[in-house]
Amino acid sequence: MPTPNNHNPDVLSCLANLSSDEVFTSPQLANQMLDLLPDDLWSNPDARFLDPGCKSGVFLREIARRLDKGLEKSIPDRQERVNHVMTRQLFGIAITELTALVARRTLYCSKIANGKYSVCTAFDNPDGNIRYRRIEHTWQDGQCVFCGTSQENYDRGPELESHAYEFIHTENPEDIFSMKFDVIIGNPPYQLDTAGFGRQAKPIYHLFVQQAKKLNPRFLCMIIPSRWFAGGMGLDEFRETMLHDKCISHIVDYIKAQDCFQGVSISGGVNYFLWERDREGPCKFTCIHNSKSSTTERYLDEFPVLVRYNDAVKIIHKVQSKQEPRISSIVSAINPFGFPTSYRGSSARTKKSLKLYSSKGVGYVPESELVQGKDLAQKYKVMVSQTISEHAGEPSKDGKYKVLSTVRVLKPGEICTFSYITIGSFESELEAINLREYLYTKFARLLILQAVSSIHLSKEKFFFLPIQDFSKRWTDELLYRKYGLTDQEIEFIESLIRPMESADE
């Protein structure tokens, strides 16, 4: 073991992240992604590589290492070889002026590409092939036409970063370097604040993927959040495109982002993928959870959402073989009674008032104020919180999920705010209670989890869960037996889903 005096860590393993949306990639992760590419690239002096979202420059540096070794025979002189690699093969588009300097220092060993200390002696300009140009957003009706971000937040003057990333703020990305690329690889920015309802942030990582495909490289490899697996927030079209794209040969999915980016919580985890222009077929899908890896080859478009756990696919097949209607068909739309999250009702109760559940407790609403969901208000139903139990969509320290947080039977005359959805519409309280008990089972929550890729629940997230006969009570043992689950499949469910008490939360 080396002594502290001999310790020489790679500085790129020690960089603090810019934010949870602009995360530095470690050299180890960069090399795992590069390992997906064919070996003959590293001995090809004509292969060109582009990182369109440069931050630390780690991808370009690790590519340079491989090319330096792979081109030894064809370009024996070291300085000639380095000059060739740096000037003819490696290109980057930095996301900020600061990261441009960092990336140049990483790749050229100097923030000035043609400076005294640069490892490349062939550049005639200080930027080299790592480009940064300040770009402004193009506003229309208060939003950027390219990335969709809010003019209110990002029309901010020259003294602040615009975050209008050059690669995605043009209709003609091929004009940036005026050349074709064999490989486009990187870790793009993930989202921008839109200043919209609830100040939700708008995903932008998919724009980098879409723009890269326009350049038609031989290979495209990026690491991005896994929220696209289930769509939503402007990602539905992107999800559909990705699920049906037979050129995606590999996906490596980290259920917990912290297993990939130390100390970073990213709702729904992250994944990196390899897209190969010249092949079509099934995808080799790897799921990494609790330091365990499971890999299988399958087509991504088998289901409307991308199921992350390979072990869950066989269980879903068994469930769907029964051809039963699904719980999603009896889940309410978002905001079933028309009251916003912030609404609390009144503390005063009258004979003609409805009991209102909000995230802050119980209030009362005059029956005359209810303008939607009037029929549902007079039935038994189950109220479920729109927010899942897990912080940032990640499992607890033991690697298990609870999935659902608040689950409560609502009686006739009881309603809820936007914070909740409702399931079912029954004349009988017993049926509603049995539905609630069903949702408490590990079996049910395992199937809900397969459609979840963020902290939010909606109608679509209950797609895999079948409707049961709610005149009777269901337990995990009964469900395991009904669907013929094997000991291994039961063990998978038990290892992934936490117990949930059989009582209103």
- Average pLDDT per run of 10 along the chain, which is 505 residues long? 41 52 86 98 98 96 98 97 98 95 96 95 97 95 92 86 94 95 97 57 94 97 92 87 97 91 85 97 94 92 92 96 97 93 89 92 94 96 91 72 94 96 97 98 96 85 97 97 98 94 57
What Cα–Cα distance (Å) separates residue 258 from each residue in 250, 269, 271, 398, 463?
Answer: 21, 8, 12, 14, 28
Q: Which residues, 6 or more positions from 130, have their beta carbon under 8 angstroms from its beta carbon? A: 54, 57, 60, 91, 92, 93, 94, 100, 103, 104, 107, 113
pLDDT in the model for residue 353: 94
Q: Which two structure tokens, joined as six digits, stand for 496?
A: 């992934």
Length of the chain: 505
Element (H, E) at 274: strand 270-276
Q: Which of 475, 467, 470 is nearest to 322 (CA)?
A: 467
- Fold (CATH) for 317-496: Adenine-n6-DNA-methyltransferase TaqI; Chain A, domain 2 (3.90.220)
Helix axes 310-320, 487-496, angle to 10 degrees: 120
Number of H helices and E strands in the chain, helices first, is 13, 19
Given this chain, do its domains 12-308 and 317-496 carry the same CATH topology? no
Which amino acid type is present at position 373?
G
The CATH number that domain 12-308 falls under is 3.40.50.150
Helix boundaries (H) for 71-195: 78-84, 97-108, 151-154
- 77-109 per-residue burial string, b: 16 or more CB within 10 A, e: under 16: eeeebbbbbbbebbbbbbbbeebbbbbbbbbbe
What Cα–Cα distance (Å) separates residue 439 from each residue in 142, 384, 391, 490, 504?
Answer: 42, 10, 20, 17, 11
pTM: 0.85
Residue-range domain boundaries for the chain: 12-308, 317-496
pLDDT in the model for residue 309: 94
Helix boundaries (H) for 77-141: 78-84, 97-108
pLDDT in the model for residue 195: 47
Determine the 3-state secondary structure of 191 from DSSP: strand
CB 425 within 8 A of CB 438: no
